[in-house]
Structure 1
Amino acid sequence: MAPLPYDPPFGAPCWFELSSPDPDAAESFYSQLLGWQFEGAGPLGLGSAAHSEGLRVAGVSAQPPGQQGPAFWSVYFRVEELSAHLAHVDEAGGQALMAIPDFDGSAGVALTSDPAGTAFGVLAYDDDRAMQSFGTAGAVQWAELFTADPTVSDFYAATFAWSFSSLTGSEVAAGDMEGSAASQQGYWAIEHAGTRIGGVFDASAVSVPAHWEAHINVNDVDALVERVRELGGDVLAAPHDSHHGRVGRFIDAQNAAFTLVSPA
């Protein structure tokens, strides 16, 4: 039986998009690694949409001419009404970097940042334009915030009504740089509408720039390590046990960081 489409609740991840200097090469990398099929466009009518099991799970778009650099993943969260949400962002100490309240007559989009300067997107829509699968094989399982200032959790609690629960180092990871740092620094699960949707990693002890990162659900992360290398990517953290399964952190052939997870 085919999986039912996922309808993101307000405040939950609704889209993950790779901004790439070479979209064709990016599509080739992820299709060969994850079996993604690319067809149609993303929720903003740009680039191409990746499908797994016939459902939209992510997108790839081209970086603007003259602004090309390493590829990077971005996360978008669903909001009910864009202008009201941006007012909450401002009140909580964040910033709207770009906003299009009426993108195409039925959606609004904004690029925003938290008080520490970490960028993320928000989408307001009431149709079936965004992610159709979350937490299933081939789709994103978890959204993780790397930040040197974990007090930004107050910002996300105020703007998305998230709650946070602290995890111990042993629950976070074992035998890798994240696990060691988390034992000393901290890791918090993000909970929303009764579901864990991601985590906050205190990156103040490691050399990792603040960013949001996608954890993509796969059947066997260990089996994909050499495949990542064969396709031109590399390993940032070897597969290890964590709070939500066995995870490995990688970069693709265009230096975009991502995590693969085989759920426990």
Structure 2
Amino acid sequence: MSEFPEGAPCWVDAMFTDVEGAKEFYADVLGWTFGEASSEYGNYTQAYSGGKAVAAVVPPMPGGDAPSQWCLYFASPDAAATAAKIKAAGGELMMEPMQVGTFGTMAIAKEPSGAVFGVWQPGEHKGFEKLGEAGAYAWAEVFSREPAKADGFLTKVFPYEGRQMEAGDDPETAGMDFKIFSLGGKENPVLGRMKMGDEFPPEIPSYVQVYFAVPDCDEAIEKTKARGGKLHFGPMDSPFGRFAAVADPQGAAFAVIDLTTTVGEMPKFD
């Protein structure tokens, strides 16, 4: 797969205290297989779907006690330049740009409303080798309590065109504040942004929800629960697919979506 354009989601990884447990869970729920742990890089272990690299898991850094969570990385041709834009736009750098051998350069940041994300400048490692198919990354949304802050930040840091979803007649989406960001034209949406309402407990900060494609949403939910994970929301039918928000046994939240089962008309965006 060719290199990703600036601002495109290009990789995901997560830290787990119990890496072997995480591997067993995702092997069952998403059908992943795993490569050898790279001891030179903190036992970073790539996950594969059909032999294609789709994600990675890694144990926490020594002394680290951060909760398990998936981190989405956005492509950058120059991580240092993107880091400067992040600071200028009111974001916070949690990890300054750091070269990872010959693989590339990474940074970790937080946008002004609190969602954490990564930046990846590719070297030998370009990013996802598979997209939008069962077992692979499909989509992502920034869930934000302060959408105006997130929207302004995203369009300053990355070359996005943002469009707001129009209020329609569907009661499911009435009052929903949802925006999509595209690269290189409206026909190429790469990221969503959802306003967090009162249905979210106040202790949950703004976050990035990563969607993984599955052949059957309901089956993925049952496997998640059987393995000790939790169902947070859904399943719900939509024009984009049947999806549900879940968490693995170590608390890392993500969503599963069956892209082949679509219901209803696509929403309109301004």
Q: TM-score, length-normalised on structure 1?
A: 0.87
2:137 to 137, 140, 154: 140
The answer for unaligned runs of 5 or more in structure 1 is none
Counterpart pick for 1:34 among 25, 30, 34: 30
User: How far, CA to CA, are the matches of 1:214 and 1:70 in structure 2?
Assistant: 16
Q: Is the 8 A contact 1:231 1:253 kept in 2?
A: yes
Runs of 4+ in 1 over 3 A off after TM superposition: 100-103, 168-171
Match of 1:166 in 2: 164
Answer yes or no: is the 8 Å Cα contact 2:14–2:56 preserved in 1: yes
Partner of 1:71 in structure 2? Answer: 68
Structure 1 counterpart SS, 2:205: coil
Structure 1 segment 2-81 matched on structure 2, within 5 A: 5=1, 7-40=3-36, 45-46=41-42, 47-68=44-65, 70-81=67-78
Cα distance in 2 between the residues matched to 1:6 and 1:49: 19
Instruction: Provide closer, same or farther for how the CA distance between residues 70 and 81 of structure 1 changes in structure 2, counting only shifts above 3 A.
Output: closer
Q: 1:175-214 counterparts in 2 under 5 A?
A: 179=172, 183-194=174-185, 195-207=188-200, 208-214=204-210
1:122 to 116, 119, 123: 119
The amino acid of 2:191's aligned partner reads G
**Cα deviation digits, residues 17-36 of structure 1 (max 9, x gap):** 12111111001000011110
- Relative to structure 2, which stretch is displaced further, 72-81 or 105-114? 105-114
Cα distance between partner residues in 2 of 1:106 and 1:27: 23
Per the alignment, residue 258 of structure 1 pairs with 254
Aligned length: 252
Tell me how far apart the structure 2 counterparts of residues 242 and 169 of structure 1 sit (CA, whole Å): 16
1:248 CA displacement: 0.7
Q: Which moved more, 1:129-138 or 1:145-154?
A: 129-138
**1:51 to partner: Cα distance:** 0.5
RMSD, matched Cα: 2.3
What are structure 2's unaligned runs of at least 5 residues? Answer: 263-270
| Structure 2 CA distance for aligned equivalents of residues 59 and 243 of structure 1 | 29
TM-score by length of 2: 0.85
| Offset, 1:245 | 1.1
* AA matched with 2:8: A
Change (3 A) 1:218 1:147: same
Following the alignment from structure 1 to structure 2, what is the Cα–Cα distance between the partners of residues 85 and 11?
A: 10
Distance in 1, matches of 2:98 and 2:62, equals 25
Task: Compute the displacement of 1:70 (Å).
Answer: 3.7
Q: Percent identity?
A: 27
